[in-house]
Structure 1
Amino acid sequence: MKSTTRVQLSLMMFLEFFIWGGWFVTLGTFLNDNLQASGGQSASVFSTQSWGAIIAPFIIGLIADRFVNAEKILGVLHLAGAVLMYQMYNAASIEVFYPYVLSYMILYMPTIALVNSVSFNQMKDPEKEFSLIRVFGTIGWIVAGLIISFVFHWDSEQSRAEGLLRNTFLMSSIASLALGLFSFTLPKTPPKGKGEKVSLGKIIGLDALKLLKDKNFAIFFISSILICIPLAFYYQNANSFLSNSGVSNPTGKMTIGQASEVIFLLLLPLFFKKYGFKKTILVGMLAWAVRYALFAYGNAGELSFMLIIGIALHGICYDFFFVSGYIYTDSKAGEKYKSAAQGLITLATYGVGMLIGFEVAGMITDKYTLADGSHDYKMIWLIPSAIAAVVFLVFAVLFKQEKEIKATV
């Protein structure tokens, strides 16, 4: 790969995830402070990510894979996203905000697959080259959080009281505009499926449903959906929890989670090779239960280290479960169903699983909202901790150890 192309792809990844990290991390706090949203209303807003994940395959399968160059549709989607993000910045109520965020996520979620497509199209050895490009996406997410906390201090108590947290949408709107324009300069990535017949089953991965006949894969599939319930609690409540608990620079400190994600992604092949798939994924499940217990009993004072450890566990939570899951799915699918299987597991987790998770998180948040508007965060965190523990036990008992699976991360 030419060095200029590598720089282009790295900048593309940086901006792609800078945009997402620039507003999504603080969304729960913004909804609570600026729009006075209830737990149920917040759940509806966060669920737009799931609806975006469900609809994304149709945009990719019906348009990007058949008619339009990936870099061009990427540019159009981000330019439209910049407009929608600016409208979110101006929204004064949850009723006005919701249609814009729903429209935005329907347009944004397909761009994740598009940036991958543009990248893979330029690579001769994706297994070695892709991670070096994708890591700039994580760096972009981290930089966005650091800017919010340590440069502009939008998540400080005073700034939140002044309504300045809404500036995160303006920042992301500008970044989306930049990426939209920049996309048209990216290497040409013509549609791969031009002229091919396409079916609904192929688009959303239903061709891979026959894999569920394998008992182990079926247990993994169901566990993947269930573990997304506690995951949704983190996205929806973590930033507002840290902010309301008195943690300084909460958004910046949450970037510790992305830093640990990079570290454990590098360690994953070693762990995978030594302990195998079952033990690796069990560690990931257990990490969810432990981190929420730490959140439940930690505080911003003498027990603040518990909150920091909980944030840092994000790398194990995500990499050891989700990345391991992608590897396992790839190994079970075989050449014929590789793409379909990955599409199915993505639909199950970020689509169905997260949709259920956000709904449950919203109900629990409302149930443990006190009369003065504060929250009983101890119970809000202990419940997903218990759910993760149950999923851990079910998987440990029912999933049978298989022969070693090659880690390709």
Structure 2
Amino acid sequence: MVGTATKATQGIPYFTPAQEPPAGTPTDVATAPTLFQPLRIRDVELANRLAVSPMCMYSAQDGHLTDFHLVHLGQFALRGAGLTIVEATAVEPRGRISPEDSGLWSDSQIEPLKRVVDFVHAQNHKIGIQLAHAGRKASTLALWHLKPGTRCLATADQGGWPDDVVAPSAIPFAAEGGWPEPRALTLDEVEGVVRAFADAARRAVAAGIDVVEIHAAHGYLLTEFLSPLTNRRTDRYGGSFENRIRLAVEVIRAVRAVIPAGMPLFVRISATEWMEHGHETGQRSWDLEESIRFAKRLPELGVDLLDVSSGGNQPDQRIEVHPYYQVSLAGKIRDALRAEGKDMLIGAVGMISEAEMARSIVQVGEGVKGEEKKDRETVEVDEEHGQKTQADLVFVGRQFLREPNFVLKIAEVLGVPVKWPNQYLYGAPRRKL
């Protein structure tokens, strides 16, 4: 390209205007709320504290991303998301949730991922990937097939692998609904899972990914090993707390060993299975207490951020739903870590759809004074008004599907002037002089 006055983004295999600073950056960082302050994690700096959660799209071709993913994921970075995380990406073919899941078990899957990475980087934003293994929840149909009276199982003629679904123990997710019957992994296969995570992480690095997240939540394989309800093994991977966390620890160590020292490593967990009702009868489950115990181990393993979600491992879970039901879990883990001088970052997820809620979760340095504080009796209301910081990064999923411009919208609602994409400046809100 000759004779242009527009600065081009460097390191991208095509011309696109440089976004300097990136969209979603406040025009006055000094006065912006914490939500719009940059966040540095190792060698990676996010322009703001808003991240796109990994969301399954059931649209990959034999694990390979397509132009759908380029448009789907690229739109969030274009409109200001500081970090966009690629959906749960299987580390081996039988680790997919559905036949159409993203994968990174083959070198041929690097280039399609790199195309998405290049676009996000062209917007001067960061991109992560969530590495996963579905365990006993594998070989199931895409979301839109799950209607009343239909089966969850993806059969062989539908591209599934119902005879090769694996888990820590041979316990299906549910007796009804067409869930596959898993078999227990052998010790050699468990070691193979660790290698598969490490190999996928190497491929993510080759694709230019900025952040790697290990998926140990929502009832997938690593969760199944953590929980005494789904892990009935009698070898070194089952029984005690130390044994049940062993696979997750080995995966974390293996991934940390193959990614650059300056690359952030995240781990997502379900802070509770929401099965505490079984404790009264002696049926122990993975709960907040064990999550805190696990979280305290993570900084020494090289984990930089714990992404706190919940549930997904039991069909009879009892979730106490309120707007902050998952944010509260994140806040409690964060408090427990800081009480022992551990400063690992915490991410919060769940029902984050409003500007003030997103702001209050990560806001630092605010309190509530006087009579106003006395009127707030519930934890939810206290958190809603930002009495204390609950997390360091906000992960948003479904709201980004409803509003891809969520970052720009909440900046406007909060009265925070932010940079818009160069190409979209005609659409930026006009401000009074």
Q: TM-score scaled to structure 2, two decimals?
A: 0.27
Q: Which has the higher contact order (CA 8 A, sep 6+)?
A: 1
